[in-house]
Chains A and B, each alone.
Chain A
Amino acid sequence: MRAAVLGLGAVGGFGCGVGDLENAVQNSIPSTRLVDMETIHGVLEVPGVTASVSPLEHKIAKRFLRRSTRFMQLAILGSLLALEDTGEQDGALEGRTGIILGTGYGATCNTLNFQALSPRDESSNISPTSFSHSVDNVAAASIAALLEKNTPNITINHFDMSVPLAFMTALSWLQSGRVDNVLVGCVDEFSKISAYHQSTFKGDGSGAQQCGIGVGEGSVFFVLAPEKGSEISYGHIREARTCAWSASAPEPENDCVYFWDHGFQASNTETLLRDSLGHAPSASYLGLYGYLPVGLGFALAIAALSRKNDWVYPSVEERGGHWGLQGHEPLDGRRIRCLRPGLAGEWGTVLLEP
C-alpha cells in the first residue's frame, strides 16, 4: 500500500511554507547565520539555522498560543501549513485523522537538557507550566486540541530515527484502516547545547569565524492518505523503515536517486552506507535546513518538491561525498530514496515514488 502525499508544510531557516522552501532549493540559498546564545560563559555567537514562528499570529487565535512553547509553536505551524497546502477548505480533512510526530531533541532541549549551561537553571525548582511542557508529546497534543481531533495520537523520540519510524507508523495506520488520513511530521528546536558543542568541536569557542552548516531548527508536516490511483504531484510514499547496518545493507537501486541527510558528526554507518551505494546519483540539502535529528523530514519535503517540479536541484552541503547529481537535471520519473545514517548503527529511509 502506498500513501499519497496530499499536502506539505515546512518551516525552518529557509522561511515558512512550501513556497519559501522551493525558492531556497531552486536558488541554493544556504540558511546558516550567526546566532547569539546566552550561557553561563557569557553570550556566545554560534552558527545556527533558526526559524520564525511569527506567521502563526495570523493563523490562529492568540489565546490558543498563550503559554505555548517554541517547540509547540513550530509543530503547530508546520501542521497548519500542511493542512493549508492540501487546498481543503479551512484545511479540514474528512474522516479520522491520525496525528504522528517525531522529534529528536524533544521538548526540553533548551530547558532541562541545557541546564548545565543555562544562566536560568529551573530544574531544581521547576514551575508547573514548565513541567507540563516538558513532555515530548505536548506538541502533538496541542495539534489535536487545535484541530479538535479525538483520534490516534503518537509521539516518537528515537533521536535520528524518529522520522522514518513516524512514517512507518503512518503507513501502518493507513493500511490497517485505523485512520482515513494522517498528519505526520517532525519538529526540532535549535538545540543550544548541540550548537555549543559543534562550535567547540570546530576549535573555535565563539563560532564567530566559521559559518559552515549550523545546528538546525524547524518543522515539516505531511498529510498522507491511502493511494487512490490519481495523479498526485508530490508523489506517493512507498516505504519507510529503519534497519540495523549489521542486518542489511542497501544495494543501489535502478531508477532511484538518493537524498542524504545526516548529523554533524560522521558515523560509521554513514561511511558504510556511502561505500555500499558507491556512485549512485545522490544529493543533499543540509545547507538549507541545518543539522538536526529530524533532518530526514526536510530531505523528504525537498524530495516531494523535486517530484512536483520533475527536477533535481543542486546539493547544498559541506561534506565531501559521491554526489552523482551535479547541477540541475530532470527527475525524469525516478524514485527518490531519502536516507539517514544513524548514530547507533541503524539507518533510516523513506522512499518517494511517482
Chain B
Amino acid sequence: MNTELKEQLKQIVVTEFDLSDMGPEDIQDDDILFGDKFGLDSIDAVELVFQVKNHFGVEIRDMKEGRPALQSINTLAEFIQRRLAQ
C-alpha cells in the first residue's frame, strides 16, 4: 500500500481540519476518522471529499459511495488508488 499517499492524506486531515494539537504521526492508518478520536463531523466529511477531489482529482459523487471510503486513512487510500488506476 502506498505509504506516501497515506502520509499525504494524514497531512491533509491535520491541516484542513485545523487539528492544531495533533500531527500526522498521531493518526493511525486504521483509526476511525469520524469517530470520537478526532471530533470530526459532517462538514469535515464533505470537506474531505472536496480536498480529495482537489488534491487527487478523484471524485466521490455521493455519501453512499463516500461513507465506506472515508472510514479510515487505509480505506481512503485504497479508494483513491483504485480510482486512479481506472
Contact = CB atoms under 8 A, between A and B. Distances in A.
A66 interface: yes
9 closest A-B pairs by CB: A128-B46, A66-B18, A129-B47, A127-B50, A128-B47, A67-B18, A63-B39, A128-B50, A132-B43
Contacts of A125: 54
Nearest to A125: B54
25 contacts: A62-B20, A62-B21, A63-B39, A66-B17, A66-B18, A66-B19, A66-B20, A66-B39, A67-B17, A67-B18, A67-B43, A67-B44, A125-B54, A127-B47, A127-B50, A127-B51, A128-B43, A128-B46, A128-B47, A128-B50, A129-B16, A129-B43, A129-B44, A129-B47, A132-B43
A142 to B, nearest CB: 13
Nearest to A68: B18
A92 B7 CA distance: 44
A128 B46 CA distance: 7
Interface string B10-52: 0000001111110000000000000000010001101100110
Interface residues of B, number: 14
Contacts of A62: 20-21
Interface of B: 16-21, 39, 43-44, 46-47, 50-51, 54
Interface of A: 62-63, 66-67, 125, 127-129, 132
Contacts of B18: 66-67
Contacts of B17: 66-67
A248 to B, nearest CB: 47
Contacts of A127: 47, 50-51
A129 B42 CA distance: 10
A284 to B, nearest CB: 39
A333 B19 CA distance: 52
A125 B17 CA distance: 18
B33 to A, nearest CB: 15
A63 B18 CA distance: 9
A321 B45 CA distance: 55
